[in-house]
């Protein structure tokens, strides 16, 4: 499955290492002018490219929740916001957007091609999101399949784009290898957090529940281990403990929300159902956690550009 990479590299250290290794080759073709031009926005480009992958899954979460929670209008609103943010980030990475700290248009043909591939894949997914709500069970499950397939492909394309940006934009004058790795690890946990919620929603919606239950069980451990590694460090993978009090405080908030969500996820893994109230509480905790995970990535970006 496309999500295998999340399992085999629970904290995505291998991906960060591969990205940094590719930098040495790419750097030989990068002029000093490009280094100067991208110095102030490289970390933000890494952040936003990885956020595209997260938003692809977030849209699927909102679509699922709109048809299976007690607050469908709320999740329709979240879905509209997700679509807007996804499309704005695509435009920013392609054309520049000073409000998002992307200071110039993209002029690398490889990266421009990746962005266009994501845009092409996003178009039918966006349409499916717009029509997913309704009462026709068979139609909804068809759209669930469509959304699941396209969101997985968008996630894959987003991961490839992030790898390309890592290789081309990272440079030792701006970010160390360790900083790049920490941004990537934090960014991948916000993707995995979305995946956990989507698996939970698939279980209680009856959409491939057994496969979703298996995914949920494995990903719970990977998420918790990765966030703990960001908090306390993991010397065997050259991961240092949280480098600032600000980052530590955000990680503790993420873990606090995780402590509140874990029992519900565990109940679903064990084959139990959740009441509508329990689903609503889980979704609320999830949304609060997602805000903190976005803040965590932003905090690591800020630290990398110190």
Euclidean distance between CA atoms 52 and 191, whole angstroms = 9
The pLDDT confidence band at residue 64, using thresholds 50, 70 and 90, is confident
193-206 pLDDT, tens per residue?
999 999 999 999 88
pLDDT of 144 > 60? The answer is no
- Residue range 243-257: average pLDDT? 98
- For residue 133, is pLDDT > 80? no
User: How confident is the model over 197-224, as a mean pLDDT?
Assistant: 93
Q: Which of the residue ranges 12-26, 139-153, 244-258 would you say has the lowest mean pLDDT?
A: 12-26
The answer to whether 56 and 125 are in contact (CB under 8 A) is: yes
State what percent of residues in the chain have pLDDT above 90. Answer: 49
Contact (CB, 8 A) for 99 and 131: no
How many whole angstroms separate alpha carbon 165 and alpha carbon 162?
A: 5
Helix (H, G, I), strand (E, B) or coil at 281: helix
pLDDT in tens, 8-23: 444 443 333 334 333 3
CA nearest to 288, candidates 107, 140, 138, 78: 78
Give the predicted TM-score (pTM) of the model: 0.79
At 266, the pLDDT band (50, 70, 90 cuts) reads very high
The answer to whether 50 and 160 have CB atoms below 8 angstroms apart is no
The whole-number pLDDT of residue 2 equals 44
Closest to 23 (Cα-Cα) out of 165, 159, 156: 165
Distance CA 154, CA 115 (A): 11
Buried b (16+ CB within 10 A) or exposed e, 51-69: bbbbbbbbbbbbbbbbbbb
Q: Measure CA 221 to chain center.
A: 17
Nearest-angstrom CA–CA distance, 24 and 26:
6
pLDDT at 95 over 90: yes
Mean pLDDT of the chain: 80
pLDDT of residue 150: 55
**What pLDDT, on the 0 to 100 scale, is given for residue 16?**
39
For the chain, the C-alpha Rg in angstroms (whole number) is: 19
Q: How confident is the model at residue 173 (pLDDT cuts 50, 70, 90)?
A: low
Q: What is the pLDDT of residue 225?
A: 95
User: Would you say residue 174 has pLDDT above 50?
Assistant: yes
Q: Which of 220, 223, 272, 209 is nearest to 251 (CA)?
A: 223
């Amino acid at each position: 499955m496309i999500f295998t990479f999340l399992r085999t590299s629970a904290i995505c250290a291998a991906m960060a290492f591969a990205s940094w290794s590719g930098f040495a080759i790419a750097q030989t073709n990068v002029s000093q002018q490009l280094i100067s031009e991208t110095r102030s926005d490289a970390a933000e480009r890494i952040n936003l490219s990885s956020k595209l992958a997260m938003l692809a899954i977030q849209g699927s979460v909102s679509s699922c929740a709109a048809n299976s929670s007690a607050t469908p209008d709320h999740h329709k609103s979240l879905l509209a916001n997700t679509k807007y943010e996804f499309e704005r980030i695509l435009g920013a990475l392609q054309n520049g957007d000073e409000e998002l700290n992307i200071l110039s248009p993209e002029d690398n043909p490889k990266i421009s091609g990746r962005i266009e591939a994501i845009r092409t894949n996003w178009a039918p997914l966006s349409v499916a999101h717009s029509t997913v709500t309704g009462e026709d069970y068979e139609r909804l499950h068809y759209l669930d399949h469509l959304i699941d397939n396209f969101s997985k492909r968008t996630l894959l394309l987003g991961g490839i784009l992030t790898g390309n940006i890592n290789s081309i934009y990272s440079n030792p004058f701006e970010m160390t290898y360790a900083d790049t790795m920490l941004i990537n690890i934090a960014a991948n946990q916000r993707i995995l957090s979305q995946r956990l919620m989507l698996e939970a929603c698939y279980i209680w919606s009856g959409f491939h529940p057994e496969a979703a239950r298996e995914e949920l069980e494995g990903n719970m451990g990977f998420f918790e281990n990765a966030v703990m590694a960001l908090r306390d460090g993991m010397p065997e993978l050259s991961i240092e403990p949280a480098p600032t009090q600000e980052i530590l405080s955000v990680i503790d908030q993420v873990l606090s929300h995780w402590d509140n969500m874990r029992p519900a996820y565990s109940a679903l893994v064990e084959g139990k159902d959740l009441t509508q109230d329990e689903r609503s509480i889980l979704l609320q905790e999830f949304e609060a956690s997602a805000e903190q995970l976005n803040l965590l990535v932003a905090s690591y970006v800020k630290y990398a550009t110190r």
